[in-house]
Amino acid sequence: MELNKLQAHLLKVKQSDWKLLAELLKEIEATEEFSTRTGLQQKNKNTFVLPAVVPAEVVFKFKRLVERMDLVPEYDWTEWKDAQLILENRENEMEGLDATALCKLFTVMIKADEFASGFLVSCFSNGAVALILKKLISEYWKEE
């Protein structure tokens, strides 16, 4: 999704998709652990598998759903220097952010995770994902 088309797109997202996102939010809020960690494993004499963070299924569901709904805009996310601060100090820094900025945070989380495995999981653990979802759902979902 192009950044300049995101606001218009959000108004066109189906209510059934917002409902799916609201249901996912409930699942996120009920989840206690968003990942497991694997230890160093030796596969054979010369092959080792390094320790890794393995995201919980709810993390994969989130990523698939927001990407399918086109809530992950394309832009140069590395240039947004305040994104990390916003994600770390969630409630104070997210106050007053519009829907476009909230979706831009999804891009930061997902793209940064490609370079630093576990970053997306940390955004679940610290409550940033749930907070953004709550804000977007409250603005766009017209609960039946």
Tens-place pLDDT, residues 127-143: 999 999 999 999 999 98
| The pair of three-digit structure tokens given for residue 93, joined into one six-digit string | 């820094």
The answer to whether 131 touches 94, Cβ cutoff 8 Å, is yes
The rounded mean pLDDT for the chain is 93
Answer whether 21's CB lies under 8 Å from 130's CB.
Answer: no
In 3-state terms, what secondary structure has residue 38?
A: strand
Asked if the model's pLDDT at residue 91 lies above 90, the reply is no
pLDDT computed for residue 84 by the predictor: 87
Task: For 9-60, write each residue's pLDDT tens digit.
Answer: 999 999 999 999 999 999 999 999 999 988 888 888 889 888 888 999 999 9
Residue 8: pLDDT band with limits 50, 70, 90: very high
